[in-house]
Each structure stands twice: as structure tokens, then as C-alpha cells.
């Protein structure tokens, strides 16, 4: 192989690599420097043929200019993607933030037709904002069936807990997003919904066989393949009864024999991030990339060391372990996907105008999925305590100073006390010990629990503590109201042990619109609609 041929081959390999970058322009602004390549490395990778980027952080305005700059640096069309499962605002300030998919899944239980219409509108909203801001690949929908209540990583990111709900809603979502000509990605194949471990931190191991997968987990993927899904992302899980050696991401049996050959998927197979510890704890950066290509993956997402990954694949080709034709096939699939991108002109209207339909959609989903018991029963208090539990108070964008969860109870006379798993423990001892009511204060307590299960967060572990705490607060006759934002599994447990006379609300969403709707329904209207107070609320809440 000549030097020119080697250079050309490395460029072709680089076309299959997607690296993570920050949406901020300056390296010093990166929130996750371990995961995000710096600007100098990025320019080098683009010169060497990089295939795409996954972006996180910054505002929508920064995202637009960042995407424009990237395309100017590259001699070919880049894949520019983001994890915006719940709206562009999930990752970029200024975009619409929508309720999680399971909100629509709960509407589906009583009104399937309405839920499918909302799911399609949900996809259209995300696709529209993604395209307007320069993204061309949305890493959604989640096709995992969350049939394990203890799942710490999927949870309410899923559309539901049964195959029919997930299949119908993800197909409706896909129909909506494709109206905008944005590429889509079904994840996480062959199904991450029944795990009780987070693959960002360790490799989950499941005992499901192919019969079980065909009956449950694969149903949404099959439907989306028929609907023309552009790409499918792998799951970092081990299915020991299907491949006893390799995780799904690195399994030829799962990616090629099952997904390609049996399910006849002809689109792009994308690995989940190889930097996740389910993979990086076990395999080196180059080793994981080579094994993923051998297994049947087309795109390598977030290798820990991208330059090492390129070189390792190059050496595997030189040794005859991977054929050049194999690389060419993946490049052709990528080029075919890029040709399906929208040719629409960017909308000239102000981006805030574009966002309005998304804000209205969020309100409608929350309204239709909100559950209330004993509305309008929380009255004013002279010494009430608004006890708020969050998973991580430092990284909590929905609970800033003017958040409705703080402002509305304050108008009813409740002072806020915020606690999280990293702060001062409200418990007298270890897990399942009683609350320290002397620390909290023996006064009427409005309890607001923000617990949903997030990647990297072990907030699910706090749930049992709060079940016992609700019992304790009730026994002391101090519980004046309760709102749960997030986990429907916690809601089901708590509603069964809560006094039927207690005002209680549940929303799968944690965003400020959910706080507004829940608390306005629970707190007596005259308390928050007194002289000059409605204007005060609306100054903070819209």
C-alpha cells in the first residue's frame, strides 16, 4: 500500500467516526472536556475526513453558528447530531423543552388516537427546531420498552412499558420528524428497557433469548424498519443466551445476523457512545472500534480516543481482519442517508415565533397527562415548609430561583427547603431511617419530589426513602400536599399509601410548565390570585 493509498484509506475510516464536541465556541467553556474533543483536535479530524459530530451545550444561537462553521471546515457533508429526545431545549438553551415521551405514553392508555396525534406533533416539533438550528440527525426515538420499574437509565425516556404503546407512538413520532427531512435513529437495539443497571457506568447482563426479544423488545424496531428509519443505535448490554461473549454493540450475532440479515435493516447501524463505561472499562479505544466494525456497525460514536480508533481500524484492514469493501459499504450507507436530508430553506421568522407551537404542545401534553387528587385544597400557611427533593441541586435547570415550584408555594406562605442526595441528609441515619423532623421543622409540609431516573444519577435509590418519609409525615399529621414529578413507578407506590384526603398531583414532566399546572390545581385559587399576585406569577411563569 502506497503512502497516498494509506492516506486515502484513513480518510475513509475517519468518515465512520463521530466525535462529541461542545456547542460552546471556546474550549474553556466545555462542560465535559473528558468527552468532548477540543477545537484544535476537531479541525485536525475534519481535515483527515471526520464523518460527523454529536453536540451538547450552549444556546441555539451558538449551535447555529457552530454548525455553520463545521460545514465550512469540511469538504463534504457532515452528520451533525444531538440527543434531543425531549426537544432541542433539552440540550441547548433557547430551544423548546418538551415533557418526556412517557407523558404521551400515559395519555395513550385512555386515548390512543389523541396520543398518536401528539406523538406525531412531538416529532415534527423536534425535527423543525433541529433543522432550523443546523442539526441533521436526531438521536431519537427511544424504542426501549421500559418494563423494568427499577431501570435507572431509560425510565420515562421510554414511550411506555408495553410493545404496542411503544411501537405505535415511536412510529407516529417518526412520521412527524420525517416531515422536516431530518435523519432519525431508533435506539437502543435490541432493547435496553429491562435493565436495572446504567450502561454509562457498567455493562448490564440480561438472560433474554431470541424468542423473548421477538415477542417484546424487537416489536418497535421491526415497525420502524418498515417505516424507513434511517439509523439504529446499539445497546451496551450483554445477552448471554444469544452471545455469551460480546455485548450487543460488539456482537456479530446481534448486529449482522439478527439486525441486518433477519430483520432486513439496510440503514446505518450506529454504536452507542464507546466512551461509556459498559465498554471502556473492558475494551481499549482502538479495540472497541475494531470489534464494532467487525460486528457490523457503520458509525463509531464517541470513541474514547478517536485518533487511536482510526489507526486501529486501519491496522485491522492491513492485517486482513476487515476488508476495504466492508468500509466502502458503510460509507455508501452514510452517503445514501445524507442524500435524504431536507433541501428546505431556513425559516426567516424569529426563532421565538417558531418555538410557540412547541410551548403550546408542551402545555397540552402536561394538561392531558397530569393526575390530580383533591384539587384546590392547599390553603395559606403562616409557617409552612415547601420541602423539595431533587437528584442534583447543582445541575437542576428546571428549579432556578423563579421556578413555580418555589414561587407558588411562597405565595401560600411556604418557605422552601431544597435537599438532594449530595447535601445534608434529612434522614436521622442510613437508608430507610426516619426523617429528621427537627432539622426540617415541625410545620405543615408541602412535599415536592423530583425523581425520574437519569443517566449517571442514582436518584432511583432515593425513592424507597421517600415512601417511608410520606408515611412518617402523615403519621405526624404534617402532610399538607404532595407533588411527584418524574417516575410513574414511585407515584403508583405513593398513591397507595397516601391518605385519600391529601391533595396530591403527579406529572412525568419536571419542567416549569408541569410545576405551574400541578400547583395551580392544588393550591386554593384565592391564595395565588390575590391582589397584584397574578401579575407577579406571570412575570416569572409563562
**Is residue 272 annotated as part of the catalytic site, yes or no?**
yes
200 is catalytic: yes
Phi, psi of 185 (to 5 degrees): -145, 115
Q: Are 122 and 361 a contacting pair, CB within 8 Å?
A: yes
Rounded Cα–Cα distance for residues 175 and 257 (Å): 28
Number of helices and strands in the chain (H, E): 21, 16
Which of 148, 223, 137, 142 minimizes the C-alpha distance to 180? 137
Please give the order of strands across the beta sheet that includes 445-451.
Answer: 371-373, 504-507, 479-486, 445-451, 384-389, 414-419
Task: Collapse the DSSP code of 206 into the 3-class scheme (helix H, G, I; strand E, B; otherwise coil) and give the result.
Answer: strand
- Residue written as cell 436530508? 341
Q: Give me 224's grid cell.
A: 420502524
Q: Which of 124, 174, 200, 208 is catalytic?
A: 200
Q: Which of 144, 198, 272, 457 is catalytic?
A: 272
- Looking at the DSSP bridge assignments, the partners of residue 82 are 138
Relative to beta strand 17-22, strand 300-301 is: parallel
Residue 67 CA to residue 358 CA, distance in Å, equals 22
CA distances from 120 to 57, 90, 341, 493 (A): 26, 18, 19, 31
Q: State whether the Cα torsion 152-154-159-165 is positive or negative.
A: negative
- For 40, counting Cβ atoms within 10 Å of its Cβ (0-12 exposed, 13-18 middle, 19+ buried), the class is exposed
Give the residue numbers annotated as catalytic, written as ranges. 200, 272
Amino acid at each position: 500500500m502506497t503512502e497516498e493509498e494509506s492516506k486515502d484509506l484513513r480518510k475513509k475510516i475517519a468518515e465512520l467516526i463521530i466525535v462529541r464536541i461542545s456547542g460552546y465556541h471556546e474550549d474553556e467553556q466545555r462542560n465535559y472536556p473528558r468527552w468532548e474533543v477540543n477545537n484544535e483536535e476537531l479541525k485536525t479530524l475534519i481535515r483527515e475526513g471526520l464523518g460527523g459530530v454529536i453536540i451538547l451545550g450552549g444556546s441555539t444561537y451558538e449551535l447555529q453558528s457552530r454548525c455553520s462553521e463545521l460545514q465550512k471546515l469540511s469538504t463534504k457533508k457532515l452528520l451533525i447530531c444531538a440527543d434531543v429526545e425531549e426537544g432541542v431545549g433539552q440540550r441547548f438553551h433557547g430551544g423548546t423543552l418538551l415533557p418526556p415521551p412517557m407523558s404521551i405514553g400515559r395519555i395513550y392508555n385512555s386515548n390512543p388516537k389523541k396520543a398518536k396525534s401528539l406523538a406525531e406533533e412531538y416529532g415534527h416539533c423536534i425535527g423543525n427546531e433541529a433543522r432550523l438550528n443546523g442539526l441533521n440527525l436526531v438521536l431519537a426515538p427511544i424504542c426501549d420498552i421500559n418494563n423494568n420499574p427499577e431501570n435507572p437509565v431509560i425510565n420515562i425516556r421510554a414511550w411506555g412499558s408495553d410493545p404496542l404503546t411503544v411501537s405505535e407512538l415511536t412510529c407516529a413520532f417518526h412520521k412527524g420528524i420525517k416531515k422536516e427531512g431530518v435523519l432519525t435513529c431508533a435506539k437502543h437495539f435490541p432493547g435496553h428497557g429491562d435493565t436495572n443497571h446504567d450502561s454509562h457506568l457498567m455493562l448490564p447482563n440480561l438472560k433474554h433469548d431470541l424468542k423473548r426479544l421477538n415477542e417484546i423488545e424487537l416489536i418497535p424496531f421491526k415497525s420502524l424498519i418498515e417505516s424507513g428509519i434511517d439509523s439504529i443505535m446499539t445497546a451496551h448490554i450483554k445477552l448471554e443466551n444469544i452471545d455469551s461473549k460480546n455485548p450487543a454493540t460488539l456482537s456479530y450475532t446481534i448486529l449482522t445476523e439478527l439486525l441486518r440479515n433477519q430483520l432486513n435493516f439496510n440503514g446505518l447501524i450506529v454504536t452507542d457512545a464507546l466512551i461509556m463505561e459498559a465498554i471502556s472499562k473492558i475494551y481499549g479505544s482502538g479495540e472497541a472500534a475494531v470489534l464494532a466494525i467487525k460486528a457490523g456497525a457503520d458509525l463509531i460514536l464517541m470513541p474514547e480516543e478517536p485518533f487511536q480508533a482510526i489507526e486501529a481500524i486501519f491496522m485491522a484492514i492491513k492485517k486482513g481482519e476487515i476488508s476495504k469493501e466492508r468500509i466502502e459499504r458503510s460509507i455508501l450507507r452514510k452517503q445514501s442517508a445524507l442524500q435524504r436530508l431536507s433541501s428546505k430553506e431556513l425559516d426567516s421568522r424569529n426563532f421565538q415565533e417558531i418555538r410557540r407551537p412547541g410551548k403550546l404542545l408542551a402545555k397540552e401534553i402536561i394538561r392531558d397527562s397530569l393526575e390530580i387528587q383533591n384539587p384546590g385544597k392547599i390553603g395559606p400557611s403562616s409557617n409552612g415548609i415547601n420541602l423539595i427533593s431533587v437528584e442534583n441541586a447543582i445541575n437542576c435547570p428546571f428549579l432556578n430561583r423563579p421556578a413555580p415550584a418555589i414561587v407558588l408555594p411562597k405565595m401560600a406562605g411556604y418557605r422552601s427547603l431544597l435537599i438532594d442526595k449530595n447535601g445534608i441528609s434529612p434522614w436521622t441515619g442510613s437508608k430507610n431511617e426516619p426523617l429528621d423532623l427537627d432539622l426540617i421543622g415541625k410545620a405543615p409540609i408541602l412535599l415536592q419530589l423530583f425523581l425520574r431516573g437519569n443517566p449517571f444519577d442514582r436518584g432511583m435509590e432515593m425513592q424507597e426513602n421517600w415512601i417511608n418519609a410520606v408515611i412518617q409525615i402523615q403519621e405526624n399529621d404534617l402532610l399538607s400536599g404532595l407533588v411527584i414529578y418524574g417516575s410513574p413507578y414511585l407515584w403508583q407506590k405513593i398513591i397507595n399509601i397516601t391518605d385519600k384526603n391529601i391533595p396530591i398531583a403527579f406529572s412525568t414532566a419536571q419542567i416549569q410548565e408541569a410545576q405551574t399546572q400541578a400547583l395551580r390545581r392544588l393550591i386554593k385559587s384565592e391564595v395565588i390570585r390575590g391582589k397584584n399576585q397574578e401579575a407577579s406569577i406571570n412575570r416569572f411563569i409563562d
